[in-house]
């Protein structure tokens, strides 16, 4: 089925470990995004990508790494997880050609707990 | 710093009433405006987008934009319990073709049967 999928949906890890959250979309959308959502802060942009091999920082990029070698994939890596990175992470995509890139389609989210 | 402000609520309305959700933003140059709905434990979903001053209607939903007042609202007519969710306002400062999107923190709506 077409859509945007995230994996894993739930992850528990320990402080200092590396974690990668995967995001895959089948629409061939140009834009892909990673957001985190925390109580009291709402949705905050971590990184985004306007096309393959083009990425840019968002509001809260520290401690995260992204890559986009293929249009359909946009993995997010926490190089050394910290407790403050416990959050729900949402991947999203949008298409700038036929619409506004602000029209986002979200994945189901990945709930990450760092102990 | 560009900001999007929403009343956090909760906003409680009886079933069948009109729910009015409001959002203000800090930059007059903003181009595109969006309303997302997020059910508890779920991901946000786009319900309305509006780009020019005035009203835009889609079923029971009406988005209203007033750029001079830097104000965008969402009206939900004939509110149903299934409308109970958090509504997120988002503003794309850059307009179509580019991306500088900021979300408000959301207003929680509760529709009472």
Check A96 against B96: CB less than 8 A apart.
yes
Distance CA A92, CA A32 (A): 6
Distance CA A36, CA B52 (A): 29
Q: What is the per-residue pLDDT across B9-67, written as a single tens digit (0 to 9) for each?
A: 899 999 999 999 999 999 878 888 999 999 999 999 999 999 999 999 999 999 999 99
Q: Do B106 and A42 form a contact (C-beta atoms < 8 A)?
A: yes
Q: What's the angle, vertex CA B76, arms to CA B74 and CA B79, rounded to 5?
A: 150
Interface of A with B (CB under 8 A): 31, 40-43, 45, 48, 50, 90, 94, 96, 99-109
Check A50 against B99: CB less than 8 A apart.
yes
Question: Shortest Cα distance from B109 to chain A (angstroms)?
Answer: 16
DSSP string, B14-37: ETTSPEEEEEEES-TT--EEEEEE
Q: Do A104 and B44 form a contact (C-beta atoms < 8 A)?
A: yes
Provide the pLDDT for residue A97.
65
Contacts of B63 (CB under 8 A, 6+ apart): B33, B35, B48, B49, B50, B55, B56, B72, B73, B74, B75
3-class SS of residue A44: strand
Provide the pLDDT for residue A2.
64
Residue of B42, B46, B51 with shortest CB distance to A104:
B46
% of chain A residues with pLDDT over 70: 95
> pLDDT tier at A48 (50, 70, 90 boundaries)?
very high
Q: Which residues pair with B5 in a beta bridge?
A: B24
**Once rounded to an integer, what is the mean pLDDT over residues A55-75?**
95
In this model, does residue A94 exceed pLDDT 70?
Answer: yes
């Amino acid at each position: 089925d077409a859509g945007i999928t995230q994996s894993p949906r739930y992850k528990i890890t320990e402080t200092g470990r590396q974690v990668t959250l995967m995001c895959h979309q089948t629409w061939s959308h140009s834009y892909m995004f990673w957001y985190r959502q925390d109580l009291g802060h709402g949705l905050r942009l971590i990184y985004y990508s306007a096309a393959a091999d083009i990425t840019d920082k968002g509001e809260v990029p520290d401690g995260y790494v992204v890559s986009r070698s293929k249009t359909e994939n946009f993995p997010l890596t926490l190089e050394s997880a910290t407790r403050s990175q416990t959050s729900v992470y949402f991947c999203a995509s949008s298409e700038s050609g036929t619409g506004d890139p602000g029209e986002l389609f979200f994945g189901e989210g990945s709930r990450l707990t760092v102990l | 710093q560009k900001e999007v402000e929403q009343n956090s609520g909760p906003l409680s309305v009886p079933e069948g009433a009109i729910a009015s959700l409001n959002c203000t933003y800090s930059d007059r140059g903003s181009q595109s405006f969006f309303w997302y709905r997020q059910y508890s434990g779920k991901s946000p979903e786009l319900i309305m987008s509006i780009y020019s001053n005035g009203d835009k209607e889609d079923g029971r939903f009406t988005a209203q934009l007033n750029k001079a007042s830097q104000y965008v609202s969402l009206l939900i007519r004939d509110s149903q319990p299934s409308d109970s969710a958090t509504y997120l306002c988002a503003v794309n400062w850059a307009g179509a073709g580019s991306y500088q999107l900021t979300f408000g923190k959301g207003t929680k709506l509760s529709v009472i049967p």
